[in-house]
Amino acid sequence: MRILLTGKNGQVGFELQRALAPLGEIVAVGHAECELAEPEAIRRLVRAVRPTIIVNPAAHTTVDRAETERERAFAVNATAPRILGEEASRLDAFVVHYSTDYVFDGMKNGPYDETDATRPCSAYGESKREGELALQDATRHHLILRTAWVAGAHGSSFAKTMLRLASERDSLSVVADQWGTPTSAALLADITAHLVRQQQQGNPEAFPYGIYHCVAGGETNWCDYARFVVGEAIRSGRKLRADPAAIRAITTAEYPTAARRPRNSRLDTRKLQHAFGFELPHWQTGMRHVLQQILGT
């Protein structure tokens, strides 16, 4: 089995190289090997590699910058998945693609499930929704995993930012009226490997393709998440200027950004758990592991 993996230098791509390694030969590419904003470069890559499986965590993920870089955001997040799907269909290959809570507007009271209407409220969210639709049109043999608040030890993350700021400042102000679930990149990678294994070992035509929500268990807000990160770091022995009590809760209105964020990013994962027999760990479990790696403990 040959696996083409994009975004090898990102948080999820880094972990996928580890998780997918036992399943077959991995051809991992980053921006230097293939510019995903160029359709012909994608076609050349897929035709040269001739993969059995394409795993695509690569994306234009700078949410605020997407507001002024719409063309590039749509090229990477919408056109590239369509090209990957078309090329996969020619090869009868299987595509795993990652999407986001930003396809929703955040106005629902409870967790979003896969049947809820998508109403993105940012250019990034719009581009990711278009990517979902484009891949669905291009090939039936796809899995789209919507996830949220991804964190890993590799690359930049909210957790690393909070640790840096807490080492520089005596107090922090963090938004407390946006809710979601921190999800470790390692968990996403391990789930992906399990799904790929199931698809390859079973009857591919009977495999339950489609869209699934994939986040860890539990929920929190950004402020309490920051307090958790800082508290865990202090308990591990890290010296910080700000402690959890010095992290002040503020509203979204007090922290304006170029792109609007969903207030509710909670995703219902029952479909994924029922279809594949998963029990998803609480977000704090995964984040403790991420923090251990970041802190070197």
Helix residue spans in the chain (DSSP H): 11-20, 39-49, 63-66, 70-74, 80-91, 123-138, 158-168, 185-201, 222-235, 270-276, 283-295
Name residue 12's amino acid.
V
* Side chain identity, residue 242: A
Q: Copy the structure tokens of residue 76.
A: 């990477």
Q: Are 278 and 191 in contact (CB under 8 A)?
A: yes
CA distances from 290 to 33, 155, 185, 293 (A): 28, 12, 9, 5
Which residue in this structure is represented by tokens 């994962």?
269
Distance in angstroms (rounded) separating the CA atoms of residues 140 and 168: 50
Distances (CA, A) of 229 to 11, 165, 175, 200, 276: 18, 12, 15, 38, 31
Annotation marks residue 225 as catalytic: no
- In whole angstroms, how far apart are CA 105 and each of 144, 170, 251? 19, 34, 17
- Single out the catalytic residue among 98, 124, 209, 225: 124
| Angle, CA 275 vertex, CA 183 and CA 2 arms, to 5° | 75
Q: Which residues are catalytic, by number?
A: 124
